[in-house]
Amino acid sequence: MLEELLLLAHVVGATVLFGTGAGIAFFMVMAHRTRDPVLIAHVAATVVIADTVFTATAALLQPVTGYLLARIIGWELSEGWIALSLLLYVLTGLFWLPVVWIQIRLRDLARAAVASSSPLPRAYFSLYRIWFACGFPAFSAVVGILWLMLTKPSISLF
């Protein structure tokens, strides 16, 4: 029974990470396309909250549920597909942490533009390009993790 509950929690967490990430990216891109500081400030504020509530929570619980599942099932963390999943998880985090900071800055720059009735500053567009570029390796790594978890291929890393 514990194994099934941990598996459910792990799958829900993976779904939340994937779905929230895709949703956040979609809404940020759509808001950005308007070039409207009011809309961008509103959407970016919502995105920051969603990242805090959903993504961060799931990101913290995933390694816990994964570790506990591995222990209960008897898998070693050095098993190829698990080790590769962990490496991809770290890679995702290395891209996600700057993205969170960038989203906060994008929100703040849009809010400042609204407050001063100015267009978005150049810094906004520079940060947005970095935010956009970081999404591709992070998204690809998450897809890779999902594939590894579903297929559990035999991989020799060590």
Would you say the pTM of this structure is higher than 0.85? yes
Summarised one tens digit per residue, pLDDT across range 75-97 is 999 999 999 999 999 999 999 99
26-61 burial, b if ≥16 CB within 10 A, otherwise e? eebeebbeeebbebbbbbbbebbebbeebbeebbeb
Residue 144 has pLDDT above 90, yes or no: yes
Residue 157 has pLDDT above 80, yes or no: no
Please name which of 68, 90, 69, 87 lies closest in space to residue 78, comparing C-alpha atoms.
Answer: 87
Could you state, in order of their start, the residue ranges of all structural domains in the chain? 2-151
Mean pLDDT of the chain: 95
Instruction: Pick 156 or 84 by higher pLDDT.
Output: 84
Over residues 43-61, the mean pLDDT reads: 94
**How would residue 62 be classed by pLDDT, with cut points 50, 70 and 90?**
very high
Summarised one tens digit per residue, pLDDT across range 34-46 is 999 999 999 999 9
* CB 65, CB 6: distance < 8 Å: yes
Confidence (pLDDT) at 158: 63
Q: Which two tokens stand for residue 102?
A: 């960038």
Amino acid in the structure at residue 55: T
Residue 33 has pLDDT above 90, yes or no: yes
